């Protein structure tokens, strides 16, 4: 074998170690260069991500713009683990940093003694969002109020209002109710109204005046002078008191009828006139149903029968009784018409 051939076979063995060392060194150089280039790129990517993130700021106040400290503010993302919680400072300020853009967040604010406040917000790239309407209202405690319907208490209040009703401020007008849904009177209340009516000075002033008119007209057939006047006054008193008691208290209590006039006040004039005309003949029972007005008829007829016993013999006739009864019923009709169309506007009413 020649020297050349021997050298050819010996070269690989002599230089193999050197080759491997050089390969290893080059590999380290390439790896180091890659790391050198990757670190700045990674840092650049992280900086870019941080620049894209935003923030949410706000101030929690009450409706009077007073700051609320220690309020709990929760920022909830679409997933359960994407959640941030913090408490407001003494000035009510809160701040969420590094909030991802493009994600819908729900913000909830709670504080002791206040109602909960919530809202949703989604940030743009790098947006700093300031919430300006985080106002908490004082929490209202729910209460249950049980209202018990008491007809007895209601009718007492209605009756008190009726007792204060005055025409032109001084003439009692207690036998008319302006309530749209009046409660029926008890027996005690019916007698109470009769007592109030019969003891009112205006009632007795009317008897004095009417007796004077009869004296001037020389009717009934009493003599003139003081004796005749007091006899007329006595007869009128007997008639007025007996009708007030019998027609407004005794018979309404026995027959369970209401002695009051029920003011309509609305509808056509024809319907109101018919309501007033029929009031002397049809009344409302304590059961709320319409029925013949036996109380008014009986009160007028019986009171006239009692009064006639005080009259002179020439006036003690059935004709006089029924004549007075007819005049009394006509007076009731005229009074009802006046109540419906005239007296209501001149009547002062008590507070209900």
Summarised one tens digit per residue, pLDDT across range 304-331 is 888 888 888 888 888 888 998 999 999 9
Domain boundary among 112, 136, 160: 136
Average pLDDT along the chain: 85
- 224 and 85, same structural domain? no
75 pLDDT higher than 90:
yes
Count the residues in the chain. Answer: 352
- 308 and 168, same structural domain? yes
Q: Is residue 304 part of a domain?
A: yes
Higher pLDDT, 297 or 147: 297
- 334 and 191, same structural domain? yes
Q: What angle do CA 177, 182, 187 make, to 5 degrees?
A: 90
Higher pLDDT, 27 or 165: 165
- 297 and 195, same structural domain? yes
Q: Is residue 34 part of a domain?
A: no
Confidence of residue 152 (pLDDT cuts 50, 70, 90): confident
The CATH number given to whatever domain includes residue 96 is: 2.60.40.10
Please give the radius of gyration of the chain, using alpha carbons only, rounded to the nearest integer: 51
Domain boundary among 84, 108, 136: 136
What local confidence, expressed as pLDDT, does residue 324 receive? 87
What local confidence, expressed as pLDDT, does residue 98 receive? 86
CA gap 241, 132 in Å, rounded:
78
In this structure, are residues 76 and 121 in contact, taking their beta carbons and an 8 Å threshold? no
- 114 and 82, same structural domain? yes
Summarised one tens digit per residue, pLDDT across range 28-62 is 665 555 555 544 544 455 555 566 788 999 999 99
Q: What domain range is 239 assigned to? A: 151-348
Q: Is residue 23 part of a domain?
A: no
CA gap 192, 256 in Å, rounded:
16
Summarised one tens digit per residue, pLDDT across range 276-304 is 999 999 999 999 999 999 999 999 999 98
Q: Is residue 187 part of a domain?
A: yes
Q: Which of 43-47, 71-75, 150-154, 252-256 has the lowest mean pLDDT?
A: 43-47
In this structure, are residues 260 and 316 in contact, taking their beta carbons and an 8 Å threshold? no
4 pLDDT higher than 50:
no
Q: Which of 74-88, 173-187, 204-218, 309-323 has the lowest mean pLDDT?
A: 309-323
In this structure, are residues 90 and 67 in contact, taking their beta carbons and an 8 Å threshold? yes
What local confidence, expressed as pLDDT, does residue 1 receive? 46
Higher pLDDT, 242 or 351: 242
Q: What is the mean pLDDT of residues 162-191?
A: 94
How many CA atoms lie less than 13 Å away from 85 in the CB half-sphere?
6
DSSP state of 320: H
Instruction: Tell me the two tokens of residue 344.
Output: 């209501």
- 248 and 331, same structural domain? yes
pTM of the model: 0.58
- 119 and 187, same structural domain? no
Select, from the ranges 77-81, 135-139, 145-149, 228-232, the one with the highest average predicted confidence (pLDDT). Answer: 228-232
**Total count of domains within the chain:** 2
What local confidence, expressed as pLDDT, does residue 114 receive? 92
69 pLDDT higher than 90:
yes
Summarised one tens digit per residue, pLDDT across range 202-234 is 999 999 999 999 999 998 888 999 999 999 999
194 pLDDT higher than 70:
yes
Q: Is residue 29 part of a domain?
A: no
What local confidence, expressed as pLDDT, does residue 313 receive? 82
CA gap 119, 99 in Å, rounded:
16
What local confidence, expressed as pLDDT, does residue 25 receive? 58
Q: Which residues are paired to 73 by β-bridges?
A: 86, 109
Q: Is residue 247 part of a domain?
A: yes
- 178 and 119, same structural domain? no
Q: Is residue 48 part of a domain?
A: no
Domain boundary among 136, 168, 191: 136
Share above pLDDT 70 across residues of the chain, in percent, rounded to a whole number: 82
- 98 and 247, same structural domain? no
What is the β-pairing status of strands 72-76 and 117-121?
Answer: unpaired
Helix (H, G, I), strand (E, B) or coil at 134: coil
Q: Is residue 98 part of a domain?
A: yes
DSSP state of 247: I
Closest CA to 56 of 106, 91, 90: 106
Q: In which residue are the tokens 């005229």 written? A: 334
What is the β-pairing status of strands 176-177 and 261-262?
Answer: parallel
- 250 and 156, same structural domain? yes
- 184 and 89, same structural domain? no
- 206 and 110, same structural domain? no
């Amino acid at each position: 074998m020649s020297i050349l051939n021997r050298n050819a076979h010996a070269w690989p063995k002599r230089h193999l170690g050197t080759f491997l060392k050089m390969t290893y060194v080059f590999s380290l150089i390439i790896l180091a260069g890659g790391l050198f280039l990757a670190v700045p790129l990674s840092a650049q990517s992280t900086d870019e991500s941080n620049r894209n993130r935003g923030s949410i700021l706000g101030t929690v106040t009450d409706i009077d713009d007073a700051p609320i400290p220690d309020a709990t503010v929760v920022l909830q993302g679409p997933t359960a683990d994407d959640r941030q919680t913090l408490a407001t400072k003494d000035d009510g300020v809160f701040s969420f940093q590094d909030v991802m853009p493009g994600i819908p967040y729900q913000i909830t604010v709670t504080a002791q003694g206040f109602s909960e406040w919530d809202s949703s917000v989604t940030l743009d790239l790098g947006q700093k969002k300031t919430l300006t309407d985080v106002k908490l209202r004082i929490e209202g405690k729910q209460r249950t109020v049980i209202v018990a319907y008491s007809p007895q208490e209601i009718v007492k209040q209605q009756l008190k209002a009726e007792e204060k009703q005055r025409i032109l401020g001084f003439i009692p007008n207690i036998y008319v109710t302006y309530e749209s849904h009046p409660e029926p009177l008890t027996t005690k209340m019916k007698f109470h109204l009769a007592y109030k009516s019969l003891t009112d000075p205006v009632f007795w002033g009317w008897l004095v005046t009417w007796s004077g008119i009869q004296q001037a007209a020389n009717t009934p057939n009493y003599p003139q002078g003081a004796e005749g006047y007091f006899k007329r006054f006595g007869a009128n008193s007997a008639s007025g008191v007996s009708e007030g008691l019998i027609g407004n208290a005794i018979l309404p209590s026995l027959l369970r009828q209401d002695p009051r006039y029920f003011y309509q006040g609305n509808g056509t004039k024809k319907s109101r006139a018919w309501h007033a005309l029929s009031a002397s003949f049809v009344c409302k029972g304590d059961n709320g149903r319409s029925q013949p007005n036996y109380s008014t008829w009986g009160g007028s007829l019986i009171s006239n029968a009692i009064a006639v016993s005080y009259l002179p013999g020439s006036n003690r006739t059935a004709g006089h009784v029924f004549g007075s009864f007819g005049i009394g019923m006509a007076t009731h009709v005229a009074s009802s018409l006046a109540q419906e169309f005239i007296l209501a506007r001149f009547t002062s009413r008590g507070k209900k």
